[in-house]
Structure 1
């Protein structure tokens, strides 16, 4: 988002998932196109002469607004969900509400980055989400991506279950938002790499994605990551296959840009004298679209160190428990290029850009 969200009535700070202002108790709805909150009465509001309604999933904590002439009563983010638990499975639906919150944050970030989103019900291979629980009816759920559809296990929204898996798999970080950012990386690898030159460069950096995934999976879980994985990869999981290396790096690009955007929106900056090693202040930007990746990663190096120190002062682990080595910096540079310089024609931008898609649906 380009600014800090505030209540339109009392100007009190609010979070992106806020339904009711904690200060003045006004009912609020989030308008994705303007990136602003509006007060709602009787479940609706008028924006620029157009009536907008609360999403029909507001009872499950969705605070987004839906245009009066939309084809359904669900907001754009909720309509991207292809499968979800049965309404009478209230336990799973509670977990869905938390996961949908992470998904809305993801969709908003994709919009801020200017990435195209073609919904699953608009075109074959379009983006969609199956959000189902392995705790419901004994259904087996495998987190992953296939043909534009991202599947998540809602059971992982349980802190103890997710933490147990994190420890078992030796991961320093595991969240539902992290899963979403990783899996959407698989989707965008096929969307953004549009020519042979881009694919050739991608294979040079990440490896050949045409290699057997089944064999790579078996090898990874039998022998683990190479001993020297730290010199070339952002995580152990990234070593498994070229697809996973791209998706892991893509996810980290979203981690970095999303956190820096938030830092910029609330006015965080580091005084040069506080670092002892710089001559200029570190001032994060709301967007790095027109900046070289070196500026992005330099800002992140200093800001992440500050965030890690803050976390440690509260007795938590590091906010960002990763080291970006030179090889990973190069990979992040590739991701930065394909995101900020996606080769879309004017016609494609008009057809695919999220704001236009939202206005038409």
Structure 2
């Protein structure tokens, strides 16, 4: 994720901030410009605000906060002229948990914070959230308790207990998934949604099957076999994770999720001034790396050339602090080809 600055004073602010700690101005995320902006009330007793600074054709238009701001679950802005009280991200919620139940509000806030980061990436890629030209259903989320996390016909169901760190660790151990995270879950499930939009069509599905296998094999039978016997011993030669070996659909979703991990991490590293490729440069040498918008312009080969040294650096940093590898995966030749396929389809599907 790129760095954000308060449009009132220029100080650095974070994606989840609601107040600038330097100047005290209220902050919100503007999905139209993909930026954090400072706002001030139009009137003392009203819910309307106007932006301070910022740019774009709608910079002067009044805004209000998403309805879910009252729960501390959202800091995104909604144009006053919009027909909905929910922001670009929250408008895709079909079901939320019962917030009166103990612990549900805090858990749902965690889900929403992760979902905002997911939505940010989708908007940066320019991917449609409404089904696009594929005539697929619009993206929707059901966040409920005691549910089976998964995707079905445009609806992503997420068990709100995944936001509980203790429960998530229990499941991580039970399913032997070393990289289980809330944001990772959302990135995986959104991959199933975009399989409908980007892959399941003439001229693309054939290329998908050549790389990932035939998705027409019985899904439940394949999953049962995976949970009974696990992945093959040599799974790392062909898959990005053990679970990816379960079925071509899961291979796609796991590869998709890892691609989103890579892109977001590379952009964040650049924004934070971390660039492992520069390790061998002499002091005072000219900076040799041209900057690209990693979401829209970076070639796949260039992305990989940046990701590999970055992931190695992150792993070494994690070990230095007494922890395991931050990114415990190896990208084989077969996995690289699959990631390149995801890269091409995302670029082709951008609007």
TM-score (norm 2): 0.88
Shift of 1:264: 1.8
Asked if the contact 2:124–2:295 (Cα under 8 Å) also holds between the matched residues in 1, the reply is no
Which residues in structure 2 correspond to 1:324-339 (within 5 Å)? 324-339=331-346
Shift of 1:181: 0.3
- Are 2:70 and 1:49 equivalent residues in the alignment? no
Describe the superposition over 1:187-210 as per-residue Cα deviations: whole angstroms up to 9, x where unpaired.
001101264221001011111111
Describe the superposition over 1:226-278 as per-residue Cα deviations: whole angstroms up to 9, x where unpaired.
111011001110000010000000000000001111112233223544499xx
Shift of 1:222: 0.7
Give, in whole Å, the separation in 1 of the partners of 2:180 and 2:83: 36
In angstroms, what is the RMSD of aligned CA positions?
2.2
User: Are the structure 2 counterparts of residues 288 and 51 from structure 1 closer, same or farther at C-alpha, using a change threshold of 3 Å?
Assistant: closer
Give, in whole Å, the separation in 2 of the partners of 1:225 and 1:246: 16
Describe the superposition over 1:148-196 as per-residue Cα deviations: whole angstroms up to 9, x where unpaired.
0001111111111101111111111011100000000000011012642
Task: State which drifts further: 208-217 or 8-17.
Answer: 8-17
- Are 2:232 and 1:226 equivalent residues in the alignment? yes
Report the counterpart of residue 358 of structure 1 in structure 2.
Answer: none
Asked if the contact 1:39–1:45 (Cα under 8 Å) also holds between the matched residues in 2, the reply is no
- Are 2:104 and 1:92 equivalent residues in the alignment? yes
- Are 2:128 and 1:113 equivalent residues in the alignment? no
TM-score (norm 1): 0.86
Could you list the runs of 5+ residues in structure 2 that have no partner in the other structure?
42-46, 52-58
Give, in whole Å, the separation in 2 of the partners of 1:316 and 1:282: 31
Task: State which drifts further: 235-244 or 264-273.
Answer: 264-273
- Are 2:159 and 1:153 equivalent residues in the alignment? yes
Could you list the runs of 5+ residues in structure 1 that have no partner in the other structure?
135-140, 350-361
Report the counterpart of residue 170 of structure 2 in structure 1.
Answer: 164
The number of residues matched between the two structures is: 332
Shift of 1:114: 1.4
Asked if the contact 1:269–1:283 (Cα under 8 Å) also holds between the matched residues in 2, the reply is no
Shift of 1:119: 7.0
User: Are the structure 2 counterparts of residues 288 and 37 from structure 1 closer, same or farther at C-alpha, using a change threshold of 3 Å?
Assistant: closer
Asked if the contact 1:282–1:299 (Cα under 8 Å) also holds between the matched residues in 2, the reply is no
Give, in whole Å, the separation in 2 of the partners of 1:172 and 1:92: 26
Asked if the contact 2:172–2:180 (Cα under 8 Å) also holds between the matched residues in 1, the reply is yes
Task: State which drifts further: 38-47 or 302-311.
Answer: 38-47
Shift of 1:8: 2.0
Give, in whole Å, the separation in 1 of the partners of 2:323 and 2:267: 23
Describe the superposition over 1:291-316 as per-residue Cα deviations: whole angstroms up to 9, x where unpaired.
43221112100111112222222223
Give, in whole Å, the separation in 1 of the partners of 2:23 and 2:332: 47
Which of 292, 314, 325 is residue 321 of structure 2 equivalent to? Answer: 314
Describe the superposition over 1:58-117 as per-residue Cα deviations: whole angstroms up to 9, x where unpaired.
133310001112222211111111000124235212211110011011011011111111
Give, in whole Å, the separation in 1 of the partners of 2:202 and 2:4: 42
Give, in whole Å, the separation in 2 of the partners of 1:250 and 1:275: 33
Which residues in structure 2 correspond to 1:64-75 (within 5 Å)? 64-75=76-87
Report the counterpart of residue 295 of structure 1 in structure 2.
Answer: 302
Q: Point out which structure has higher relative CO (alpha carbons under 8 A, 6+ apart).
A: 1
Give, in whole Å, the separation in 2 of the partners of 1:313 and 1:210: 45
Asked if the contact 2:48–2:80 (Cα under 8 Å) also holds between the matched residues in 1, the reply is no
Give, in whole Å, the separation in 2 of the partners of 1:283 and 1:301: 18
Q: Secondary structure at the residue paired with 2:12?
A: coil
User: Are the structure 2 counterparts of residues 173 and 117 from structure 1 closer, same or farther at C-alpha, using a change threshold of 3 Å?
Assistant: same
Task: State which drifts further: 34-43 or 15-24.
Answer: 34-43
Which residues in structure 2 correspond to 1:247-266 (within 5 Å)? 247-266=253-272
Report the counterpart of residue 44 of structure 2 in structure 1.
Answer: none
Asked if the contact 2:294–2:303 (Cα under 8 Å) also holds between the matched residues in 1, the reply is no
Task: State which drifts further: 84-93 or 250-259.
Answer: 84-93
